[in-house]
Structure 1
């Protein structure tokens, strides 16, 4: 398993990975809701890789892409020290430490980039993800009440963050 920056030539496989991960029910998109085309995904990859304070990494196995993490950096002076994270792992690869490796990679990247605050939201009922984030040093900052509707029922999300004060914005 290697963790590497995403490339535009990953677009089609990356899109299929994201659709598979949507099936988990723990992502923002509902299963089958994602309508992105391969060309649109390629453009999105090109955009994120061109931004100084944003990045996306994939976990690649001999069977293809197994997971991803994307970090979307702040755009203005007051929040350029932050990055919002999105993480997903293909269910066939659960329990293999891939999410831990992806988070470790983005924390390392943040250090080189001068980002001192990583943040994310996670569905409160996704207990395994909450535990993973806490194991990686993230803390619950607050709760977004009824922020999502899942199967017609309101669901809450946690705001989580991790500070690395050694990484002051450059």
Structure 2
């Protein structure tokens, strides 16, 4: 397994990875809802690569993308110390330490770039992800009630943070 910064050559594989991860039902997009073109995905990756307050790392297993973690920051003086995290792993690669490795590399990058607060949300019922986040040092900050509608039912999200 190799953790590395995403590259433009990964655009097609990354787009396919995202669509597969969306099928889990635990991401923001419904399965099949994401309608992003290859060009749009490439522009997004270019934007991340050009932004020193954001990063996207991918996990590569036998030349296949198994997962990713992205930290999205900004340059506003009052919030430039924080970044919002999105992470996704293909189901067959969960429980193998890949998520932990992605976080560890992200923490190194964050410290090197003056990011002192990391934030993320997780669907309340996603126990596996919630447990990983807690294991990685994230603290439950609160619960956003009825923040999502999944299969017609109101669903809550947890907000978590980590101070570096």
Query: Could you tell me the TM-score, scaled by structure 2's length?
Result: 0.98
Superposed CA offset, 1:31-64 (max 9, x none): 0001001111011000011001000000001150
Structure 2, unmatched stretches of 5+, are none
Number of equivalenced pairs: 164
Shift of 1:75: 2.8
> Counterpart in 2 of 1:34?
34
Say whether residues 1:137 and 2:137 are aligned partners. yes
SS of 1:29's partner is: coil
Shift of 1:6: 0.3
> Counterpart in 2 of 1:52?
52
Q: Spell out the pairing of 1:117-128 with structure 2 (5 A cutoff).
A: 117-128=117-128
Task: Please give the alpha-carbon distance, in whole angstroms, between the structure 1 residues aligned to 2:128 and 2:75.
Answer: 31
RMSD: 0.7
> Counterpart in 2 of 1:156?
156
> Counterpart in 1 of 2:88?
88
Task: Please give the alpha-carbon distance, in whole angstroms, between the structure 1 residues aligned to 2:153 and 2:16.
Answer: 27
Runs of 4+ in 1 over 6 A off after TM superposition: none
Query: Could you tell me the TM-score, scaled by structure 1's length?
Result: 0.95
Structure 1, unmatched stretches of 5+, are 165-170
> Counterpart in 2 of 1:79?
79
